[in-house]
Amino acid sequence: MAGHAATAEDGYALWLRYAPLTGSAKERLDQFNPVVVQTGEADPSVKVAEEELRRGLTGLLGHVPASSGGSPIVLACNDGSSGARGHFNVAAHQQANGRSLLAISAADSVGCLYGAFALLRELSLGRDPATVELAQAPAMPLRMLDHWDNPDGTVERGYAGRSIFDWWHLPEELSPRMIDYARANASIGINGVVVNNVNASPLFLTERYLPKLKRLADAWRPYGIRLYISVRFSAPIEVGGLKTADPLAPQVKAWWKAQAGKLYQAIPDFGGFLVKANSEGQPGPQDYHRTHAQGANMLAAALGNRGTVIWRAFVYASSGETDRVKQAYEEFKPLDGKFAPNVILQVKNGPLDFQPREPFHPLFGAMPHTRMMLEAQITREYLGQATGIVYLAPLWKEVLDAPTGHGATVAQVIEPTGMAGVANTGSDRDWTGDQFDQANWYAFGRLAWSPALSSDQIAREWVGQTFSRNPNFVRQLVPMMLSSRQAVVDYMTPLGLAHQMGTGHHYGPAPWVCTLDRPEWNPCYYNRADAEGIGFDRTRSGSDALAQYAPSVAAQWADPRTMDENDLLWFHHLPWSYRTQSGKSLWDELISRYDRGVAAVDSMAREWQTLQPYVDHERFVDVASSLAIQRKEARWWRDASIAYWQSLNHLPLPAGERPPEHSLSYYEALEFPDAPG
Ligand code: GCV
- Residue closest via CA to ligand 1's atom 8 equals 353
DSSP H helices in 421-546: 438-449, 455-466, 471-492, 523-527
CA distance 162 to 149: 9
- Residue closest via CA to ligand 1's atom 2 equals 353
Closest CA to 438 of 2, 7, 17, 5: 17
CA distance 546 to 568: 13
- Residue closest via CA to ligand 1's atom 12 equals 353
Calculate the alpha carbon distances from 162 to 195, 424, 461 in Å.
Answer: 14, 11, 28
Q: Is 40 in a helix, a strand, or coil?
A: coil
Residue 26 makes CB contacts below 8 A (sequence gap 6+) with 20, 60, 61, 62
Q: Is 377 in a helix, a strand, or coil?
A: strand
- For residue 75, the cross-strand partners are 37, 104
DSSP class of residue 613 equals G
Q: Which stretches of 203-353 are assigned E, i.e. beta strand?
A: 226-230, 272-275, 308-312, 343-348
Alpha carbons within 13 angstroms on the beta-carbon side of residue 612 total 7
Ramachandran assignment for 304, one of left (phi > 0), alpha (psi -120 to 50 degrees), beta (any other): left
* CB-defined site of ligand 1, < 6 Å: 148, 156-157, 198-199, 276, 280, 314, 353, 381
Q: Is 346 in a helix, a strand, or coil?
A: strand
Distance 335 CA to ligand 1 centre (A): 23
Do 247 and 296 contact (CB within 8 A), yes or no? no
Distance 355 CA to ligand 1 centre (A): 12
Ligand 1 atom nearest the C-alpha of 156 is 10
The angle that helices 109-124 and 177-188 make with each other, rounded to 10 degrees, is: 80
CA distance 363 to 348: 10
Distance 285 CA to ligand 1 centre (A): 19
Closest CA to 383 of 333, 330, 424, 328: 424
Do 478 and 459 contact (CB within 8 A), yes or no? yes
Ramachandran assignment for 201, one of left (phi > 0), alpha (psi -120 to 50 degrees), beta (any other): beta
Ligand 1 atom nearest the C-alpha of 148 is 1
Q: Would you state the pLDDT for residue 2?
A: 41
Calculate the alpha carbon distances from 36 to 57, 70, 71, 75, 239 in Å.
Answer: 13, 11, 10, 6, 51
Q: Would you state the pLDDT for residue 1?
A: 36
Distance 325 CA to ligand 1 centre (A): 15
Mode of pairing for the β-strands spanning 372-377 and 343-348? parallel
Ligand 1 atom nearest the C-alpha of 506 is 9
Do 358 and 350 contact (CB within 8 A), yes or no? yes
Distance 501 CA to ligand 1 centre (A): 14
DSSP class of residue 92 equals E
Burial label for 293, CB within 10 Å (0-12, 13-18, 19+), is buried
Q: Would you state the pLDDT for residue 180?
A: 98
Give, for ligand 1, the residue of 280, 375, 383 to mutate: max count of ligand atoms closer than 8 Å to Cβ.
280
Distance 229 CA to ligand 1 centre (A): 17
Burial label for 44, CB within 10 Å (0-12, 13-18, 19+), is middle
Distance 354 CA to ligand 1 centre (A): 9
- Residue closest via CA to ligand 1's atom 7 equals 314
Give, for ligand 1, the residue of 149, 157, 311 to mutate: max count of ligand atoms closer than 8 Å to Cβ.
157
Do 376 and 419 contact (CB within 8 A), yes or no? yes
- Residue closest via CA to ligand 1's atom 11 equals 199
Ligand 1 atom nearest the C-alpha of 199 is 1
Q: Would you state the pLDDT for residue 320?
A: 60
Distance 491 CA to ligand 1 centre (A): 23
CA distance 18 to 31: 17
CA distance 627 to 506: 19
SS3 for 118-169 is: HHHHHHHCCCCHHHCEEEECCCCCEEEEECCECCCCCECCCCCCCCCCCCCC
CA distance 128 to 122: 8
- Tell me the residue type at 501: M
Count CB neighbours of 175 within 10 A: 15
Share in percent of the chain as helix, strand, coil (round to 5): 45, 10, 45
Distance 155 CA to ligand 1 centre (A): 12
Ligand 1 atom nearest the C-alpha of 198 is 1
Known catalytic residues are: 280, 353, 381
Distance 414 CA to ligand 1 centre (A): 22
Q: Would you state the pLDDT for residue 677?
A: 65
Closest CA to 463 of 389, 397, 398: 389
CA distance 162 to 153: 6
CA distance 7 to 14: 15
CA distance 247 to 299: 8
Q: Is 490 in a helix, a strand, or coil?
A: helix
CA distance 391 to 300: 36
- Which value, in Å, is the radius of gyration of the alpha carbons in the chain? 26
Distance 404 CA to ligand 1 centre (A): 25
Q: Would you state the pLDDT for residue 538?
A: 98
Do 292 and 258 contact (CB within 8 A), yes or no? no
Closest CA to 620 of 20, 5, 15: 5
Q: Would you state the pLDDT for residue 6?
A: 45
**Rounded to two decimals, what is the model's pTM?**
0.97
Q: Would you state the pLDDT for residue 8?
A: 58
Ligand 1 atom nearest the C-alpha of 279 is 14
- Residue closest via CA to ligand 1's atom 13 equals 314
Closest CA to 574 of 539, 613, 621: 539
Q: In what order do the strands lie in the sheet with 32-39?
A: 32-39, 71-76, 100-106, 88-94, 133-136
Intervals of the chain under pLDDT 70: 1-8, 79, 82-83, 318-320, 677
Distance 612 CA to ligand 1 centre (A): 38
How big is the chain, counted in residues?
A: 677
Q: Is 432 in a helix, a strand, or coil?
A: coil
Ligand 1 atom nearest the C-alpha of 422 is 13
Output the CA angle 497-500-504, nearest 5 degrees: 150
Ligand 1 atom nearest the C-alpha of 677 is 10
Q: Would you state the pLDDT for residue 324?
A: 95
- For residue 35, the cross-strand partners are 73
For 69-104, how does the pLDDT look when each residue is reduced to its tens digit (9 = 90+)? 899 999 999 867 766 789 999 999 988 888 889 999
CA distance 144 to 193: 6
Distance 152 CA to ligand 1 centre (A): 18
- For residue 36, the cross-strand partners are 74
